[in-house]
Structure 1
Amino acid sequence: MRDARPDDPGARRYARHHSLAGFGVTGQRRLAAARVLVVGAGGLGSPVISSLAGCGVGHLVVMDPDVVEISNLPRQLIHTEAAIGTAKVTSVQRAVAAQNSGVEVSALPERLSVTRALELVAEVDVVVDCTDSIEARYVLNDACVLLGVPLVWASIAQYAGQFGVVEPAVGPCYRCVFPDPQAVAGLATCEEAGVLGVLPGVLGAMQAVEVIKLCSGIGAPARDAIRLYDALGATMATLPVARDPECGVCGLEAGYFEGVAGLEGVDAPPGFADFGGSGGFGGLGAAGGPGADGRAAASGAVAEIGPQEWPDAGFVLVDVRNPDEVEAAPLPPWMTVGADETFVEPWAGGWNETTRASVHARVGERDVVLVCARGARSRAAAGVLGASASASAMEHAAASGREAASGQEATPGDDAAADGSSRRPGRILSVRGGLAAAS
């Protein structure tokens, strides 16, 4: 941006910035030259994109695979009724063009993958995570750490939200604060738990402030603490965080990215599987894994199934949604056909020991199928149940070994049926994509 002149439209548009102490024409030039990747054009993405476009960030790269739905409109204010059925990134392009024709928008109507994350992050100055995906958050964090690009993230649920900044090599990364993806995998999404319509606007505006600070060089990024906002209590709390020297991604002796050739060959850390079919790091894998037929084949193993893989009979169906969700969307009849038992055990980021034991007691030789709204909670619950079942199986095997060594006879039915025939151990299965995909 050239120096402001009285007849320059830019001088009039950004006059308040030009007169702002510490920002001025230099700060505005920096915004105009910046390239920002915004992943997600929904609740958080709407205020982020509108704010950055209004302030004159020169180039926005917006990624989102979804289309505008009527249920989006209360909180995704960049979209209108006329955009229903249109790709969100197309709606964003039109809105930004109407708001500030000097801002360029690259629209990417696609889902994030590891390879794309690496490609896109390498081409921008700042990344903004506006998704409600745990997988995406870890992928973006890792890509940003690898490539040295700042990341501004936020998450919201019901009446509260939090946000923070990852500034590689300077402050803690997302994994320093949340090292175990499985621990947060079962948290309900906004679609599952609901969200106050105005809340994303508050958190998105806070994200936009951090992006502007990073692009213009003013102020101190919020990298050393997580800010927690409670709308009902009208409070903002600060949770100090520090870089973990043992972090596998950004720690002092991190070996996570060793051997990386260009953008390929990134190995997954323990407990992670491929994300987005592109190879590399990120993505939550189920505990255990599928057998040759695509399902779990051993006691305690976990797999995801669809309608075509549904057990014929003799299984237990566990609905891990909360009672309000169950009442609003009952299970379709075909899901319960052949079930010995169907019951509700809500998963709210975890189960207490009593609940876990209650569910585990039903495993035995029967399949246990867990279902939620979109698959995240049932997958996390299945992983916990699978780990518990595996531990029990190991203990049983050890006990059997002790009995054999002492000359005791095994109880009929422990490892085989009373008639001598072998029995398949029960499997722990979660419904792939939840009701949203199976109905």
Structure 2
Amino acid sequence: MTERNARRGGRPGAPERADTDQVRRQNRSLVLSTVRRRAPIARVDLGTATRLSPATITAITADLISEGLISAVTVEHAPRAPEADGEPPAPSVRGRPRILLQLNAEVAYVLAVKVAFNKIVLVVADYEGTVIARREESPPTLRETRASFPRLLVALIHDFLAAEKVPLRRVAEIGIAAQGFVDQNTGSVVWSPAFSERDIELVRPVRRAFGIPCFITNDANMIAQALHWADPVVYGGTFAVIFVDYGVGLGLFVGDKLHAGADGSAAEIGHMNHIPGGPLCRCGRRGCLEAFVADYAIWREASAMSPDTDPADARPSAADLLALEAAAKAGDARIAGIYHDAGRALGYGIARLMALVNPGRIVFTGASTRAFPLIEAAMHEGIADALVEDLRRNTIFQTLPWDQDMIITGLIADALARLDSEVFAATDITRRTEIELPREERA
């Protein structure tokens, strides 16, 4: 027994074995994630990208091939993959064919579910992240109750998988992204503009119905996850995504990790109070930032409605918003002033975010970013008024066109990353003849 183990009272070699297993798990996860991002990739390029030794790469990839997680393909004079630091690939040298590694797409599927106002999107992706089936449903969500919506969701998932002939045994995880506040501890939608009732539990009913691990998250979080997945260099470290549309959402990465808080409801910037006692927000409170910036807030003010008007009664159409934007751009001073005030309010909210977490990059997206030229100058005025220059000089601001699939992409990326790091990175599955996916007790 080593001196360290003797002091701990453990059995000989136990900590060393635990340390070794942990290192192997981390290395397997690193190899899987690198193959996922850069496949097809040769072992030598994989070693360069991961900085693991040739012996380690050989051992890990041999195990992953034997388990069916990755496959090797022979390619004549294949070009080398880009270097890990982004440098151009070295010229390929003619000679014997190269053996390239890629993921086995059929190892596992993930199901992504987006829950929004009067819309449910269901998507199945394979282990490579390729979408293989998709469906959109338009149920009147406001009519659903705490009891009825979980049943509806389970039925929609069941019908979707059956219609698309997706084997349930291949589905490794179900991810749900919802508008509003979610509680990951209870697996519930605490509040959402999509529903008239609160505390709608979704994770447990789905787990019971299908016996498949399930998680729930906020939709804005998955936008940030999608960007990080697409380009972890640009969208890495500490950065924020501000989603402006039917509401104002925030996805936040801190130290290269998604920050969801204690229960998944972190970063609700839209519901930070801007002016106490201000206009009515969809959450039922008054003066939230969203009540000054979201599309319904702009429309309510432009239509000369009372600030007490329920946001549900101030829902503009896409045509309504386009008309407002056109009027402001054409010189309508009143409408332009409304956008200016919204931009300034957003700037004050962003200044608080910058003071708290010091993001290196802030990205704006959502359908309302179409009107960003109308609010951008005022937003920067608000930031400058609320925050000293020293705390804002290094942050990069970026606007991205809205892509509704970003939320789904984030769900898929999140689920696959979890499979890589928590399921398939485990060393106790080596040399199995068939991959066993995690399953839970069904009701």
TM class by smaller structure? under 0.3
Structure with greater contact order relative to length (CA < 8 Å, sep ≥ 6): 2
* Structure having the larger proportion of residues in helix: 2
Normalised TM-score (structure 1): 0.28
Q: Tell me the TM-score normalised to structure 2 length.
A: 0.27
